[in-house]
Structure 1
């Protein structure tokens, strides 16, 4: 005999085959199920509250003062229906997750024609179902956004929230590192409950919990979109971390102060040239062992 809850679940999804349909019709509470589902035909997924609907169904039963033998099975059926509709709501409104691996970038379109380009080892999460009412994107890593005009657009990170109304900007949130650069429009950065507004060329940078002043950004877009990472007086440890993400390698250091500031760049398409770009300016030597690069200062 087929499992009762299994049949009800498939019935709610309109997924019963002929054999299952006959088994479903043979259920002892089939008529009660038909009556209950008829009363719920006005159900809308976005506004449905399973707890309220269950309470309403049970209240109707109590008010009728028909405390007959069918009350308990009907309550059981109502509970199953409520749970199944609740499961249907949450499974039909899943979040969309997009992520990149080491040495990988990708560009995706959001539901309103906004676009996001993810840098290496980054991820975003958003919900298509609620997008018209809530344009929220959760970000881990680094991404460049081109936002279409419309309702408030929020980029939520562990370090702070970036709010915009139609603009182009870059957000980088890594361990102990949070940076927002505005390239077009107006950006509001909320960090530690305080908002800072950025105009084109303005930056907001927090490293190890400290606000870092930066010069005006003169480029029209972040350099990593063109497969090059650029640094202007940033700690060497940040350069190393970005190099590891772009080339999927491990870097170890010997006798090197990784807090020293570095200005320069490296390309993403030639490892040998790139490693020289970040070592020669600091008079650092390097060696390669399998997938590990060892940086040394004598």
Structure 2
């Protein structure tokens, strides 16, 4: 079997019995095993692969007993060492990024067993390997967090930061819109360097940089988890934008005030039903051509 193939599978702990025997028969088997043992104590951020490789080459040149017989296998080991260290550094610093598209939802498990439900057109970023020392997630869009007991972390958004104290809560970060609703436990929302504590039923809402007062939330979970979007006295443009995300369409308003407040809901399961839900209360007419919808004031 090819030497490189066996080493690659060995590094991935993926050798079968036949391959393992072939790997043990390699002439530099002992060197590779010693290399593996040395890697266990390696600290990625402190390693300079270029510097160490130069040191190895310098040692080889200064040795009085260098021979072609041992230089080649040693160089192979040095090359493998540099590659392994580079891979280790890369895999321990890369972030995990979860993205949902239009009309798509998904659920993600965090390293501490907390779960995150992502609404349509949202992005969640975190690092699995550094989670113990850097408990942070970055969010663009909307997500419902169900935090494992005893866990805590920060949710970083463009507008503000949500401090988790062990709870269930929803965060929505869109253009000029930032909302946090606490459903269970306690969360802290930091906005403009000031922290606001939210208890179950409490909300924190910022629209166009202004804080908006909201009624007590009586639901146990956000409506979008059940494929429905609900609105209470929110600008109509927020309704339209959410409709576009859930159905992957483009809406044009003609003669409609986008700042007019709207109270109501629409389903995510039927576009025909949904469009009537957002037009009839305001006495609007609509026309649709493929993914383009026009709403007009009667």
TM-superposed CA distance for 1:108, in Å, is: 2.9
177-186 vs 151-160, which deviates more? 151-160
RMSD of aligned alpha carbons: 3.8
Equivalences, count: 288
Q: CA deviation at 1:235?
A: 0.9
Q: CA deviation at 1:80?
A: 7.4
Question: Is 1:230 aligned with 2:230?
Answer: yes
> Which residues of structure 2 form unaligned runs of 5+?
67-71
Judge conservation of contact 2:56–2:78 (CA < 8 Å) in 1.
no
Contact 1:103 1:121 in 2 (8 A): yes
CA distance in 1, matches of 2:296, 2:42: 59
Deviation at 1:182, TM superposition (A): 0.7
Q: Stretches of 4+ moved more than 6 A in 1?
A: 14-18, 34-37, 56-63, 67-70, 73-77
Matched, 1:292 2:292: yes
CA-CA distance at 1:245 after TM superposition = 1.1
Task: Give the distance between the partners of 1:139 and 1:45, measured in 2 at CA.
Answer: 34
TM-score under structure 2 normalisation?
0.78
2:193 aligns with 193
The corresponding residue for 1:175 is 175
Residue 252 of structure 2 corresponds to 252
Give the aligned partner of residue 207 of structure 1.
207
List per-residue Cα deviations over 1:78-122 (Å, max 9, x = no partner).
687346402333136643332222222222332322111111122
Number of the residue aligned with 2:104: 104
Match of 2:115 in 1: 115
Report SS of the residue matched to 1:244.
helix
Note if contact 1:51-1:82 (Cα within 8 Å) is conserved in structure 2: no
CA distance in 1, matches of 2:297, 2:154: 44
Mapped contact 1:120–1:246 kept (Cα < 8 A): yes
Instruction: Give yes or no for contact 1:50–1:82 (8 Å, CA) kept in 2.
Output: no
Please give the alpha-carbon distance, in whole angstroms, between the structure 2 residues aligned to 1:68 and 1:193. 65
Q: Given that residues 279 and 285 in structure 2 are in contact (C-alpha distance below 8 angstroms), is that contact kept between their aligned partners in structure 1?
A: yes
Please give the alpha-carbon distance, in whole angstroms, between the structure 2 residues aligned to 1:93 and 1:118.
24
Taking structure 1 as reference, are residues 103 and 215 closer, same or farther at Cα in structure 2, changes over 3 Å only? same
Gap regions ≥5 residues in structure 1: none
Q: Tell whether 2:48 aligns with 1:49.
A: no
Tell me what 1:274 maps to: 274
The corresponding residue for 1:126 is: 126
Deviates more, 1:230-239 or 1:201-210: 201-210
Contact 2:45 2:89 in 1 (8 A): no
Partner of 2:69: none
Distance 1:187 1:46, change over 3 A: farther
Query: What TM-score do the two structures reach when normalised by structure 1?
Result: 0.78
Assess, with a 3 A threshold, how the Cα gap between structure 1 residues 108 and 84 changes in structure 2: closer, same or farther.
Answer: closer
Change (3 A) 1:48 1:290: closer
Q: Is the 8 A contact 1:149 1:165 kept in 2?
A: no
Alignment partners' CA distance in 2, 1:49 and 1:273: 55
- Report the Cα distance in structure 1 between the residues aligned to 2:283 and 2:42, rounded to whole angstroms: 61
Q: Spell out the pairing of 1:56-67 with structure 2 (5 A cutoff).
A: none
Once the two structures are superposed, residues 221-251 of structure 1 have per-residue CA deviations (whole angstroms, 9 ceiling, x without a partner) of: 1111121111111111110000111112111
